[in-house]
Amino acid sequence: MKKIFHCGPPLLPVWLGRRFVVPILLASLACIGSPSMGNGVSSERIDLTINGMVCSFCVEGVERKIRGLPATQNVKIDLSKRIVQVWVRPGETVQDDQLRKLIRDAGFDVREIKHIKLSL
């Protein structure tokens, strides 16, 4: 039997007509872009605190700039906390100066940058 990888919450069967079905597709979608998927190579997440983001258009502009970096694996932005989380592809790096320039070019200021090492 083939082993199925699952990184999301526990799967509960769903009743569909005459049988129960386990929603594997939805569970696998929860894993897309997950920094925990990998093969033992270390990676990092960079948390940036940004001044000036006040709306969804601000978020779009910042996200578009950061996703344009080749080393970017995933980006998550929390507008209420003004935090941008950038997951870097395993084995690659992004320099602080490069991020500061991208954010400045988008019209915002970086207040703080934190690097968090992730072990995949």
Per the domain annotation, does 37 fall within a domain? no
> Same structural domain for residues 76 and 50?
yes
Domain containing 102: what range?
A: 42-119
Amino acid identity of residue 20, one-letter, is F
Number of domains the chain contains:
2
Q: Which residues of 94-118 are buried (b: 16+ CB within 10 A; e: fewer)?
A: beeeebeebbeebebebeebeeeee
Whichever domain contains 115, its CATH number is: 3.30.70.100
> Same structural domain for residues 94 and 54?
yes
Mean of the pLDDT values across residues 81-88? 95
pTM: 0.64
> Same structural domain for residues 14 and 51?
no
> Same structural domain for residues 73 and 112?
yes
Per the domain annotation, does 107 fall within a domain? yes
The four Cα atoms 9, 117, 111, 34 give a dihedral, to 10 degrees, of: -30
pLDDT at residue number 62: 93
Tokens 């569970």 sit on residue: 27
Cβ(120)–Cβ(43) under 8 Å?
A: yes
